[in-house]
């Protein structure tokens, strides 16, 4: 399922006009508006795509845990942001690649499994993820400042 969704998103972002427009808006929103891209429409399309992907994730998660709660995904928020930033997506806007996000996902899940095997506290794991996120954002900022 992961490979199917990642492949679909990669094709959507790289091979369709919707994906190219979304990338242009993410890179420079003002330039995209001057280029004639309807940014309000693209924002709605991006919310629709995000909602569709969240629905797929919710169905898979509720099937895995055999339960459903409205705030069930809140515990995955820090990991999702960390994976996106590690995958090369700049939080301040810019380009990212699906392959980079997949690589960051695999690396972080292997690290998480290792922490679970050596019985590291969940609070310490969250602290490590947060510290790692701050370090990566600081490195990105310093690289962009040069």
**What is the tens place of the pLDDT at every residue in 17-45?**
888 888 888 777 788 888 888 888 888 99
- Listed residue (121, 135, 119, 22) closest to 82, CA to CA: 135
**What is the tens place of the pLDDT at every residue in 49-90?**
999 998 998 898 888 888 777 777 777 888 888 888 888 887
Triad 90, 38, 51: Cα angle to 5°? 60
pLDDT at 94: 62
Helices of type H across the chain: 2-15, 17-27, 29-34, 39-65, 77-86, 98-117, 122-145
Q: Where are the domains of the chain?
A: 1-68, 73-146
**What is the tens place of the pLDDT at every residue in 98-130?**
898 999 999 998 998 999 899 988 889 889 989
């Amino acid at each position: 399922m992961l490979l199917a969704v990642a492949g679909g998103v990669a094709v959507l972002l790289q091979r369709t006009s919707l994906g190219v427009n979304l990338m242009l808006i993410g890179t420079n929103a003002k330039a995209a508006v001057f280029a004639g891209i309807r940014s309000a429409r693209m924002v709605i399309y991006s919310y629709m795509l995000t909602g569709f992907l969240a629905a797929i994730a919710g169905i898979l998660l509720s099937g895995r845990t055999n339960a459903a709660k409205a705030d069930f995904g809140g515990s995955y928020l820090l990991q999702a942001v960390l994976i996106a930033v590690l995958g090369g997506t700049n939080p301040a806007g810019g380009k990212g690649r699906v392959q980079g996000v997949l690589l960051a996902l695999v690396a972080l899940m292997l690290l998480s499994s290792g922490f679970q095997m050596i019985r590291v506290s969940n609070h310490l794991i969250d602290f490590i993820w947060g510290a790692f996120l701050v370090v990566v954002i600081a490195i990105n900022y310093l690289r962009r400042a040069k």
